[in-house]
Amino acid sequence: MTRVPQVIPHGDFQEDGSYACPFMYNWIQCYVLFYVIAFHYGRPGMKFIVDHISLIGCNSASWAIAAVAASCLMGAAQAAYHYPNVVMEGLRSEGFQWWYVPLEFGVNTLQPLLLALGFAWLPLDLSWWGNTTLGTYSFHFYFYMYMKNQIPGWLTTLQPAGGLVQLLFVLSLPVLFMTFIGPFFHHLLLSPMHVYRFVLMCNQRRQRRLRAAQCS
């Protein structure tokens, strides 16, 4: 694991007093593999599932609501009773059980799948958040420890306002992060590609002007 100074605004603090760069974690290989597979087979797989759901008559708004509810319930239950993952996050030997394998891969695959199927019925354009998940996921580690330490104090300050205000405040934090900070880092990661496309576009425009000048 690569050791680096504290990053903005907070890296992952280690027991020996150092900080670790989240980009260099050595326990996320399973996630990398999953993302590569999803990149190539995610849309064909989703189409296959949607086609079969339509055949059995479950492709409706009511079933979409049920899918989102099941997804939220699965995510909450997994976080409450089985977190962190044992198999997917380093294959730790302490307390390992073989039934953790289908549990972790099954829930971690089915939960976002049900969410995607359900939100397909939402009549809103969520492409801004969906297309920038790379930056949101890759850089949220840098803010995780800071927010983990600060949120309890913020909630204590908001306690006189009531539980509803506290709930809305907690929900607003990831929404704001995914709306502004995540997309910024997403395009920062893709900046080499953006620069390449810009240079290519300028070169093509220059070539068109030269051809136009030669023809005239």
Residues 131 and 30 in one domain: no
Residues 85 and 192 in one domain: no
Provide the 10 A C-beta neighbour count for residue 173.
Answer: 13
Residues 85 and 135 in one domain: no
Residues 100 and 150 in one domain: no
Whether the pLDDT of residue 113 is over 60: the answer is yes
Of the residues 123, 151, 170, the one at which a domain ends: 123
Lowest mean pLDDT among 18-22, 128-132, 203-207: 18-22
Structure tokens at 44: 């064909």
Cα–Cα nearest to 188, from 117, 120, 139: 139
Residues 132 and 118 in one domain: no
Summary mean pLDDT of the chain = 83
Residues 12 and 42 in one domain: yes
Note the pLDDT tens digit of each residue in 34-59.
Answer: 777 777 787 888 788 888 888 988 88
Residues 188 and 97 in one domain: no
Residues 176 and 100 in one domain: no
Residues 4 and 98 in one domain: yes
Cα-based angle 146, 132, 135 (whole degrees, multiple of 5): 40
Cα distance between residue 176 and residue 183, in whole Å:
11
Of the residues 108, 123, 138, the one at which a domain ends: 123
What confidence score (pLDDT) does residue 9 get? 47
Amino acid at 79: A
Residues 115 and 216 in one domain: no
Residues 157 and 61 in one domain: no
Note the pLDDT tens digit of each residue in 150-176.
Answer: 999 999 999 999 999 999 999 999 999
The better pLDDT of the pair 13, 191 is held by 191
Average pLDDT estimate for 124-150 = 86
Cα-based angle 126, 130, 134 (whole degrees, multiple of 5): 155
165: containing domain: 125-216
What confidence score (pLDDT) does residue 19 get? 58
Residues 113 and 153 in one domain: no
Taking the model in full, what pTM does it have? 0.69
Of the residues 99, 123, 147, the one at which a domain ends: 123
| 143 Cβ neighbours under 8 A, 6+ residues apart | 9, 10, 177, 181
Q: What is the domain count for the chain?
A: 2
